[in-house]
Amino acid sequence: MIPRTIHQFWDSREPPAEVSDLMVSWRSLNPGWDYRLWCDRTTEELITACFDERTLEAYRDCKFPAMRADISRYLVLYQFGGVYADSDLRCLKPLSSVIDPNAAMFVFRGRIPVWRNDFMGAARRLPLMKTLIEQGIDNVINKSSDNLWKVTGPGMTTPLITRTIESGEVLIQRFQFLDVRNVIIKFNNTLHYRSEGRHWAEAQKKESIYRSGP
């Protein structure tokens, strides 16, 4: 159900060496999988080819790379299916050994009760993923909040994923945080780029998360 494709995102075409090193782990541990690294240019090309002008407008209005990465992951998972992993994650185990072959989607719950979006997978053209795209685009167009986490991140996705799980509409494989951390993936919170003011959690305290202003 979930295609054997790994998607990652970095806003420019050349990630820094420390990020590229983490990305290599996904390819080396999953040799039978396709690998696609998305950036702003390729995401905009995808939007132009497969989505509408409103989606492109919203994507371009996202000031921070993390926000564009949120939208990019929903778009590529809907269009192509596969697994998405944030660029600050290291793969520790082959994906085929942990993903339920019958699942249409997998997500994992964080330390706080939200369904995280930094490591997730979905079947192609999953209706839930389309709903996540539509809600994220609406939130950006309407400037629903000045908190990126609520506009395009887990604060936005959690209620929609929870509703789908409770409805039983699709088989969603659910992991708990302790099943994932240092077992399937390793989080890397000390990367150099985070200290350069690029991390959205600090940057959004100082400026609007939208290029067009509040």
pTM value is: 0.94
- Predicted pLDDT of residue 199: 63
- Please choose, from the candidates 111, 62, 73, 74, the residue with its C-alpha nearest in 3D space to the C-alpha of residue 209: 62
Cα–Cα distances in Å, from 76 out to 44, 211, 213? 11, 23, 27
Percent of the chain at pLDDT exceeding 90: 83
Over the chain, what is the mean pLDDT? Answer: 93
- Predicted pLDDT of residue 169: 87
Tokens in use for 181? 């951390």
Give the pLDDT band (50/70/90) at residue 136.
Answer: very high
Instruction: Please state the φ and ψ torsions of residue 87, each to the nearest 5 degrees.
Output: -75, -10
Tokens in use for 136? 């994220």
Any idea where the domains of the chain sit in the sequence? 5-203
Do 109 and 40 contact (CB within 8 A), yes or no?
no
- Predicted pLDDT of residue 164: 96
5-203 CATH, one of 3.90.550.20, 3.40.50.620, 2.60.120.330, 1.10.357.10: 3.90.550.20
* Burial class of residue 142, CB neighbours in 10 A (0-12, 13-18, 19+): exposed
What is the identity of the amino acid at 187? Answer: F
Question: What pLDDT, in 10s, does the model give residues 158-209?
Answer: 999 999 999 998 999 999 999 999 999 999 876 666 555 556 556 666 789 9
Can you tell me the distance from the alpha carbon of 36 to that of 25, in angstroms, rounded to the nearest whole number? 14
Question: What pLDDT, in 10s, does the model give residues 41-75?
Answer: 999 999 999 999 999 999 999 999 999 999 999 99
Can you tell me the distance from the alpha carbon of 69 to that of 123, in angstroms, rounded to the nearest whole number? 19
